Amino acid sequence: MSDNDSKKTLGLRGGSRPGNVKQSFSHGRTKNVVVETKRKRVVVPKPGAAKPGAHSAKGAGDPARRPAGISDAEMERRLKALHAAKAREAEEVAKRAAEEKARAEDRERRRQEAEIKEREQREAEERARKKAEDEERKRTEAEEAAKRAAAEAAAVVAKPKHDAPSRAPANKPLPASTPRKNEREQRQNRSKGRDDGRRSGKLTLNQALSGEGGRQKSLAAMKRKQERARQKAMGGPVEREKVIREVQLPEAIVVSELANRMAERVADVVKSLMKMGMMVTQNQTIDADTAELIIEEFGHKVVRVSDSDVEDVIEDVEDKVEDLVSRPPVITIMGHVDHGKTSLLDAIREAKVVAGEAGGITQHIGAYQVKTKDGAILSFLDTPGHAAFTSMRSRGAQVTDIVVLVVAADDSVMPQTVEAINHAKAAGVPMIVAINKIDRPAANPDQVRAELLQHEVIVEKMSGEVQDVEVSAITGQGLDELLESIALQAEILELKANPGRAAQGAVIEAQLDVGRGPVATVLIQHGTLRQGDIFVVGEQYGRVRALINDKGERVQEAGPSVPVEVLGLNGTPEAGDVLNVVDTEAQAREIANYREQVAKDKRAAAGAATTLEQLMAKAKEDENVAELPILVKADVQGSTEAIVQAMEKIGNDEVRVRVLHSGVGAITETDVGLAEASGAPIMGFNVRANASARNTANQKGVEIRYYSVIYDLVDDVKAAASGLLSAEIRENFIGYAEIKEVFKVSGVGKVAGCLVTEGVARRSAGVRLLRDNVVIHEGTLKTLKRFKDEVSDVQSGQECGMAFENYDDIRAADVIEIFEREEVTRTLA
C-alpha cells in the first residue's frame, strides 16, 4: 500500500471551471479550491528607448531587460550599490588573504623556533651522551689496561726468562674495529629508540593547532618523559637528593598531619606504623614518642614542641635605653577604712567621688589621672580599706610606683593600715605617710608617728627616711606639700618606659556592662594601646573597640601609666590579669584557649581526691559539718573576689559557707534555677535581677537579697550561718545533798533520807549520784518529799526524801549533785 492510497491528490476534472480545483475527501466529501495563476509580465519597450546614450547604457543597462516601473535614476542607484558591495567583498577577500598569510608566517616562525630549540636540545644531549661515552670508554680502556698489566705480571712470574720473546705479541694493542663497531651500533640503536620515544609523546605545533591526535599528554608528563630520556642518555637514572626537614612535633598528632609536615606520602607513613605493630588509619592520633620514631625512620629532624609554646609569641623584650622616655608615676592610696583615702583623692582631683559611694566607703578600686599646677601628670589608684578587699590592696601595691599610706590623725594604726604596710614592703615600693584629718580637735599626729614605729615605718620627723605630710581633705591643708613629696619621690625613681613597643598592662578592675558588654579597667605599663589592637588578657581575648579615660572621654590610644577602660573583650577577665597585644586574632585565640584549659585542669586537680583514703577521710569530716550554700553576683570582678574570700573565712568545724557560684553582672534566670535546685539564697551586690529572673524567683520561692555595703552582706551571712550551729548546752549546779539514811517503802522502793547541804534541790532538775567523788549514776528524781508531802524544791539546811527513777543502788554517805541544763545560742565570730 502506497502513501497516496489514503489521501487523494488535487486535480482538474472535466466539469470544473478554469481557475478552480476540486478536492475530494473521504466519505464522498468534496471542496472547490480557487487556484490563482500569475502570468509572466511582458514589458513593451517604448519608442526611442533602444537608443540610449553611452552613460545610460553603462549605468542603466539594457532597457529591454529592465524590470517594469524602474526609472533610470533608480537603476543607476542600484548598480552603484552593487558595485560598492563587490568592492567591499574584494577588500574582505584581500584582508582575509593577508591575515591568513600573516598566520602562516607566524606558524612558520614558531615551527622554526621549536625546531631550533629542539635541535639545540638534541645537540646538548648528544654532547652529554658523547661525553658520557668517552668517560665510559676511558674507564673501560683503563680497566682493560689494568687487567693486561696484571696478566703480564702474572705471566712474568709464571714463565722463565727465555720465554720473553714469546710474550712480545701479547703487548700489541687489540684491534679496535670490533669495539668501535659495537659502540656505533649501540649508539644508533639508542638514538633510534630515543627519537621514537621522544617524538611519539611530543606535542607538535601542527597537532596543537589542528586539534588532531585525540587526547594529548599533559605538560608535566612530557617533562617527566624528557627527564627520563635525558637521564637514560647520560647513563642511567640519577637519584634525587632527599630533603631533610625539621618537623615540629606536639604532644599528640594526627597521622595525616605528620605526613604533611614531613612531606611524605600518607600511605608510606601508615605502612611504617603497621610495621611497628600499630594498625592505625590516617585520621587517628598517635603520641609524640611514636611519631618521633617515624620521623627519624624517614630521615628528618624532630623539634619537640608543647602546648605552652603558643605563649612564646608574647615576647618579654628588653627595652633599649635610647627608646625609653619619662612616664607619669603611678600612686596607690592605701589605708584603713574611713581614714579619708577617697576624700583626700577627691580634694586633689577637685571631684566628689566619695559622694557616690554607698555607706560612705569605697568598695571598688578606682583609677584616675591628675594634672598638677606645675603641669605634671600623676596616675592615682584608690583602693578600698575594708578587711574583705585584701586582694584589691595587694593588686594596687603590685602595679604601683609609690604608695601613699593614709592614717587618720584622730585614730590609731588599724589592722588594714598594717596590712597596707605589709603589701607595700612586699612590693618593694617607696611609701609616703599622709596623716589625714589634721583639722579635727582630737588630732594627734605624733601618736600616729609613734605607733608606726612598731611596724618599722620610721618617718622623717622621727629621723627616718619615710616622708610624712600632715594633710586635711576638708580644708585642703598640706595637699601641695603632698604633691611635692610625690613629685620628689618620682624624680628620684627616674620612671621611664618605651611607648613604641607592643602594649602590656594590668587589669585593675573588670565588669559586665549591660550596654557595652565586658569592660576592663587597664593600667598600661609598657608600650601604647591603640584602638583596633588585638590582645589577650588572662583566659579572654579581643580587639580594642574603644578606649575611655577616667573622665568618660573616648581616646584613640593610651600610653604608659595611663588608666583606661577597654571595650571589645569576649568575656570578663579576672582582676589582676595581664593584658598583652599580639599580632593576629588566631594567636590570641590559641593563647586564651590554652590558658582556659590549663585553668580547668588545675581546678579539676584541686577538687579531686588523689586517693581513696583521702576521699573517705574527707567524707567523714564533712559528715557532721552543716553547709550554708549561697550564690553571689556583684557588679565588678574585684567585689566578687572580695566577697567570695570573705565567705570562705566564715565558719568553723561545724558550719561553713559554700559559694556555689559567683559571677559579674545582673541576676538571671539561670542563677535562679541553680539557687532553686540547691536551696540557696542569691546575694546581689550592687546588681539587680532582671524582670524574667524576678518572676521566676517569685514562682519558685527563691530568696534574692540586695546589698550595697559589704558590711551588711557579711553580717547577714554570718547570722544565717550561726543559725545552723547546734545550741550549746550549759549545766548550772544548783545544789548538793548528802544521804543520811536509806529507807525501804512498799510500792515505791528505796528512798534516801537526805540533807540539802548547799543550794536548793528541785524535782525538775537533773541529778547525779556520787560515791567517793565518782559519778555512778545520772538521771532524774522520781519523787521529792518533805515529811509526807510532795514538794517542788527544798532549800539548803532542810531534810527531804528522794527516790531515783529506775535506780535503787543507793547507800548512806552518798552525795547527790543537783543541776539544771540551759541551751545557749551560739554565734560565729
What amino acid occupies position 106? D
Give the pairing of strands 377-382 and 330-335: parallel
Span of 369-373, 464-468, 795-799 with lowest mean pLDDT = 369-373
Tell me if 498 sits within 8 A of 527, measured CB to CB.
yes
Give the pLDDT confidence score for residue 50 in this predicted structure: 45
What confidence tens digit (pLDDT) does each residue in 733-781 have?
889 999 999 888 877 788 899 999 999 998 888 899 998 888 888 888 8
What integer is the mean pLDDT of 239-254? 80
C-alpha angle 425/427/433, rounded to 5°? 50
What integer is the mean pLDDT of 673-692? 87
Q: Mutual orientation of helices 219-233 and 177-201 as an angle, nearest 10°?
A: 180
Higher pLDDT residue, 194 or 118?
A: 118
Distance of alpha carbon 294 from the chain centroid: 31
What integer is the mean pLDDT of 308-327? 75
Give the rounded percent of residues in the chain with a pLDDT score beyond 70: 76
Establish how many alpha carbons lie within 13 A of residue 106's alpha carbon, considering only the half-sphere containing its beta carbon. Answer: 7
What integer is the mean pLDDT of 352-360? 44
Higher pLDDT residue, 231 or 392?
A: 231
**Helix, strand or coil, per DSSP, at residue 660:** strand
Which residue spans within 175-310 are E strands per DSSP? 246-249, 252-254, 285-287, 301-304
Span of 20-29, 193-202, 475-484, 819-828 with lowest mean pLDDT = 193-202
Burial 368-407 (b: 16+ CB within 10 A, else e): bbbeeeeeeebbbbbbbbbbbbbbbbbbbbebbbbbbbbb
Provide the pLDDT confidence category of residue 154 given band limits of 50, 70 and 90: confident
Q: Mutual orientation of helices 255-262 and 288-297 as an angle, nearest 10°?
A: 40
| Look-up of cell digits 579576672 | 574
Neighbours of 204 (CB within 10 A): 14
Q: Put residue 164 in one of left, alpha, beta given phi > 0 → left and psi -120 to 50 → alpha.
A: alpha
What confidence tens digit (pLDDT) does each residue in 323-345 have?
788 888 888 888 887 787 888 88
Give the rounded percent of residues in the chain with a pLDDT score beyond 90: 9
552 burial via Cβ count (<10 Å: 0-12, 13-18, 19+): exposed
What is the C-alpha separation between 7 and 411, in angstroms, rounded? 133
Give the pLDDT confidence score for residue 163 in this predicted structure: 43
Provide the pLDDT confidence category of residue 599 given band limits of 50, 70 and 90: confident
Higher pLDDT residue, 252 or 205?
A: 252
- Whether the per-residue pLDDT at 173 is higher than 80: the answer is no
Phi, psi of 203 (to 5 degrees): -90, 115
Q: Transcribe 460-485 into DSSP letters.
A: GGGTSSBEEEE--TTT-TTHHHHHHH
Neighbours of 358 (CB within 10 A): 14
Tell me if 676 sits within 8 A of 700, measured CB to CB.
yes
Provide the pLDDT confidence category of residue 356 given band limits of 50, 70 and 90: very low
Tell me 707's DSSP state. Answer: E
Give the pLDDT confidence score for residue 160 in this predicted structure: 45
Tell me if 226 sits within 8 A of 200, measured CB to CB.
no
Span of 130-139, 609-618, 734-743 with lowest mean pLDDT = 609-618
Provide the pLDDT confidence category of residue 189 given band limits of 50, 70 and 90: low
Q: Mutual orientation of helices 255-262 and 266-275 as an angle, nearest 10°?
A: 120
What confidence tens digit (pLDDT) does each residue in 34-78 have?
776 666 665 555 554 444 444 444 444 555 566 666 788 888 888
Tell me 237's DSSP state. Answer: -
**In sequence order, which residues have a C-beta less than 8 Å from that of residue 602 and are 6 or more positions away?**
none
Would you mind telling me the total number of residues written for the chain in this entry? 829
Higher pLDDT residue, 405 or 213?
A: 405
Give the pLDDT confidence score for residue 726 in this predicted structure: 60
The grid coordinates of residue 672 equal 535562679
3-state secondary structure 528-590: EEECCCEEEECCEEEEEEEEECCCCCEECEECCCCEEEEEEECCCCCCCCEEEEECCHHHHHH
Higher pLDDT residue, 358 or 532?
A: 532
- Whether the per-residue pLDDT at 10 is higher than 60: the answer is no
3-state secondary structure 311-341: HHHCCCCCCCHHHCEECCCEEEEEECCCCCH
- Closest to 396 (Cα-Cα) out of 384, 415, 379, 383: 383
What amino acid occupies position 157? V
What integer is the mean pLDDT of 308-318? 69
Mean pLDDT of the chain: 78
What amino acid occupies position 334? M
Tell me if 345 sits within 8 A of 333, measured CB to CB.
yes
Span of 4-18, 233-247, 297-311 with lowest mean pLDDT = 4-18
Question: Which of 200-214, 280-294, 335-349 is predicted most confidently?
Answer: 280-294
Higher pLDDT residue, 621 or 589?
A: 589
What integer is the mean pLDDT of 809-817? 89
Give the pLDDT confidence score for residue 214 in this predicted structure: 52
What integer is the mean pLDDT of 347-360? 54
C-alpha distances (whole Å) from 212 to each of 111, 200, 204 are: 17, 14, 10
What amino acid occupies position 676? E
Neighbours of 263 (CB within 10 A): 11
